[in-house]
Structure formats: C-alpha cells, structure tokens
Chains A and B, each alone.
Chain A
Amino acid sequence: MHISEGVLSGSVLISGGALAAIGTAIGLKKLNYDRIAKAGILSAAFFVASLIHVPIGPANAHLILNGLVGLLLGWAAFPAILVALVLQAVLFQFGGITALGVNTIIMALPAVLCYLICSPFLHKKSTLALAAAFVCGFLSVLLSALVLGLALVFTEENFFEVAAIVIGAHIPVMIIEGLITAMCVAFLKKVQPTMLPGFPEK
C-alpha cells in the first residue's frame, strides 16, 4: 500500500519524512551488526511476499504483510520496510523518492504498533495466540489505510471521499491479511517458534 508521487503536499511529505527518519533511527539503534544479515534477508522475504497475489472473489490483491514483518522484526521493521520501499522505487518505480518517508510511515508505523500490542499473546494458549495474530494482520492494514487516508486529507480536505474509498476498498484485504497472518503464525509456532518474539528461553 503506498501513495504515488505528485499527489501529496509539501508539508505532508516533509512531516512524513521527519517521522520516518525518527522511526528508522530508533529501529537502527536497536539493530546491531549481528542482526543486519537477518533483517536484510527478512526484508528481502517481505519484498518477495508482497509480490504474491491472492484471489479475493473475482479480483485479486497482493499481500502486504506489514503486521507479520512487525512481529518478526519489532522496531527494526522501520528500516526493513524503508529498504524494501527503496528497492521497489528503484526496480519498479513504484512509490518513489519524494513519497518515501510518507510511505514508510504508512507501512512501518502500524507494523511496530501491532508488534507492541500483539506480541505478548503469541506464546499463550493457541486460540488466544491465533486471535492475537489475526488482530495483528487485520489491524496493521486498517491502520495503514487510515494513515494513508490522513495523509490525503491533510494534503487537501477535498480528498476526503477518495480517502474513504481507499479505506473501504481495503476491508477485504484486512480480513485476508488477518487470516494469512493468523495461519502463518500458527505455522511458525509449529515449525520455528523461536522466530516469534518473546519465545520463553529455557
């Protein structure tokens, strides 16, 4: 989910850039050199996963998975998502340089928030953990759509209807993302539970 270039006003672009810089700085602070390889390769996986198109009725949507990235990387989701967006901008010319900050906030802020909210429940009983994972996937896309909507409305109040349409159009995506995140977490709990945050160390 991102805003293309040439849509937003200068003040929105600058404040987005500033917020993204702060988030990235915190993320980098928490990312020591031992984890750079992991963060880089996971952000490559995130990039590839976002190319997957899942069918929803007659249409299809590509996965966003920022909630899952938040769970796996915590605060490091900020730099990881920034890097994935740079890669998208350079390889596909999606998004782009001027909107980079705003787009980072759109994707990474919900990722980190969902990580903070949902990660304490992941190693609880399986129904609770699944519910938390669903909430994580659902909420991350919902928040992303809301931030995107806010960026549009702050640019121009007349964008309100466009913003409402964008948020409405993402409701099916939220449900799918919730389901996929929940099933993915269930899979990780079986296969590699140490990857999930807060794994009780023996």
Chain B
Amino acid sequence: MINEPFATGNSIIHRLDPRIRVGLTCGYVFVVALSYQFSVLVVALVISLALIVISQVKTTEVLKRIIWVNALIFLLWLLLPFTFYGDVLTHIGSFAIYRPGVVLAAQITLKSNAILLASIALMATMSFATLGHALYRLHIPEKIVHLLLMTYRYVFVIEQEYLRLVRAAKIRGFRPGTNANTYRTYSYVVGMLFVRAAARAERVHQAMLCRGFKGKFYSLQEFQISSVSWIFAILMTAIIVGLAFMEWSRFIPLF
C-alpha cells in the first residue's frame, strides 16, 4: 500500500543535493500557487513537465497521481462554473455558466498539476530519510525532524500490524457493510492499532535508552554540493524569479 516509487533512480535530479531541492521546491511551488496569470501558469506547467522528463521517474506512477489529483479537480469543474457568480458565459439548459468560475477552475487545474509534477520530480525523488536529514540541515527544529523520522520508520510497521488485524477479521468472516457490527469491528481494529502502537513505542523508547539515546539523531550522510547542483540551483532560481517577475511586474511602477 505505502511505497516510495520515485525515491530511487540515477537521473541528474536524483543526484542533486537534497537541501537545494527542498529549498527550490518550496520557492517554486509558492510562486506557482500564488500566480493567477495564464501565461505564468502555462510556462510553469511546461517547466514542471520538463523536470519530470529530466528526473526519469516511472510514467505509470506519475500518471496514477495525476489522475487522482485531477479527479478532485473535476469536482471543482462541476461546482465552480455554476456557483461562482459573475458575467454569464453561456447557458446549459436553465443553468447559467459564469465566466469567473470557469477561469478560476482553469487556474486551479494548471496550478495543481504544475505543483504536483514539480513536487514529484524534485521532492519525491529522495527517500524520506534523506528528506528528514535535509530538513535538519536546513534548521527545521530538531524535534520535528525526530518526529518525522520516527513516524516514517514506523508507518510501514504499523501498516503491517493493520493488515494483520484486517486479515484476522476477514478469516472470521468479516464483510464490511453499513451496519453496527462493521463500525464496531473497525473501532476495535483502530483501538487495537493504537494499543499496539503505544506498547511498541514503549519498547522502542526503552531500546533507544539502552543504546544511549540523548535526544539526537546522527546522520552519517555527508551532504556536499556538487557543481552540477550549483548550476541547477542557479538555473532554477532564475526560473522562479522570472515567473515571479512575469506575475507581479505590473505592480512595479517602473514597468
């Protein structure tokens, strides 16, 4: 169920310094999320697609995620054009379609896809453990990073635990439906999941104390910024600044 299909690979992007990738992704996605001009959004989508191509990630996995995100966006297309009042664009039967609703739905579609693709290409191409260490080097508070790594470490274990509980329920003839028995069963599964998680946490904590845990995780990975990373950083920063300039230059009185 839970996996990291993009994390391994040997493309240029996979080899870039994780800190640089995290920083650039944040900058890029914020600029895209706050842009409204179609020219900016289309350029951003093209750049994100280019990043996906460079990162050589599995196309089928990318497509799965694109379909997921766009299924949600499709709901917006069903709602916004009818509820977002403004100039009437056209009529379908007795329903009016409003122009601002269509414009907004189109903007959100472009933005979401551009952000999704860029995050896959730049962020999902590192393992979660690497992300944790990169965040630590970027001076994210230590406790958050600990919590992040701890959660990541045990999410797969807990998932196995959950699958075991569900298997046991199925063997006893459990078939989910809309009835009290189903909800009770799920409540007990969830309850048991939390009980086992807490018991495991206790053991893990004791094991950590035995090994001399003093509130610090050490990373043996040395981060070194290669020249390729620097070139990529400079290029990407130029792109981010360029997009921001395209979007907001009309607010600068000189232009």
For chain B, the bracket of interface size reads 35 or more
* Contact indicator A84/B183 (Cβ below 8 Å): no
Would you call the interface of chain B mostly helix, strand, loop, or mixed?
A: helix
- Of A13, A87, A156, which one neighbours B128 at CB under 8 angstroms? A87
A70-114 to B contact mask, C-beta < 8 Å, 1/0: 001000000110111011011111001111000000000000000
Q: How many A-B residue pairs have CB under 8 A?
A: 226
* A87 and B151 contact, CB distance less than 8 A: yes
Contact (Cβ within 8 A) A65 B147? no
Stretch from B11-19, B27-35, B225-233, B236-244 contacting the other chain: B27-35
Partner of B194, one of A156, A176, A195: A195
- Whether a CB of chain A sits under 8 angstroms from the CB of B102 is no
Knowing A36-B147, A90-B128, A97-B29, the reply to whether A42 touches B194 (Cβ < 8 A) is yes
Separation in Å of the B80 CB from the closest CB of chain A?
A: 7
- The reply to whether the CB of B182 lies closer than 8 angstroms to some CB of chain A is yes
Q: Taking the nearest CB of chain B, how far is it from the CB of A17, in angstroms? A: 10
Secondary structure at the A interface, as helix, strand, loop or mixed, is helix
**A6-B33, A33-B215, A98-B33 given; A45·B197 CB < 8 A:** yes
Q: How far is the CA of A28 from the CA of B143 in the complex (A)?
A: 7
A44 with B188: CB separation less than 8 A: no
Nearest-neighbor residue (CB-CB) of A86 within chain B: B148
| Closest B residue by C-beta to A166 | B79
The answer to whether B108 has its CB under 8 Å from any CB of chain A is: yes
B48 within 8 A of A: no
Contacts A41-B204, A44-B155, A93-B65 given; indicate if A68 touches B182 (C-beta within 8 A): no
Contacting residues, chain B, for A174 (C-beta < 8 A): none
Q: Which residues of B contact A24 (CB under 8 A)?
A: 144
A47 and chain B: residue at smallest CB distance: B155
A161 contact set on B, CB distance < 8 A? 79, 83
A99 contact set on B, CB distance < 8 A: 33
For the complex, give the distance between the alpha carbons of A10 and B204 in Å.
41
If A34-B205, A87-B128 touch, whether A82 touches B144 (CB-CB below 8 Å) is: yes
CA distance A96 to B33 in the complex (A): 11
CA A161 to CA B86, docked complex, whole Å: 14
Tell which of B4, B33, B120, B194 has the most Cβ of chain A within 10 Å: B194
The 9 closest A-B pairs by CB, nearest first: A40-B150, A6-B111, A183-B187, A187-B191, A45-B197, A161-B83, A38-B201, A41-B201, A33-B215
Interface residue ranges, B against A (CB under 8 Å): 1-4, 25-26, 29-30, 32-34, 65, 68-69, 72-73, 76, 79-80, 83-86, 100-101, 104, 107-108, 110-112, 115-116, 119-120, 123-124, 128, 131, 141, 143-144, 146-155, 157-159, 161-162, 176-178, 182-184, 186-195, 197-198, 200-202, 204-205, 208, 213, 215
6 contacts between A and B (CB under 8 A): A5-B112, A38-B202, A49-B190, A56-B178, A159-B84, A184-B187
19 more contacts with CB within 8 A, not counting A49-B193, A161-B83, are A5-B111, A5-B116, A6-B33, A6-B110, A8-B33, A24-B144, A40-B153, A41-B154, A44-B150, A44-B151, A44-B154, A44-B155, A56-B178, A91-B128, A179-B183, A180-B183, A184-B187, A184-B190, A188-B191
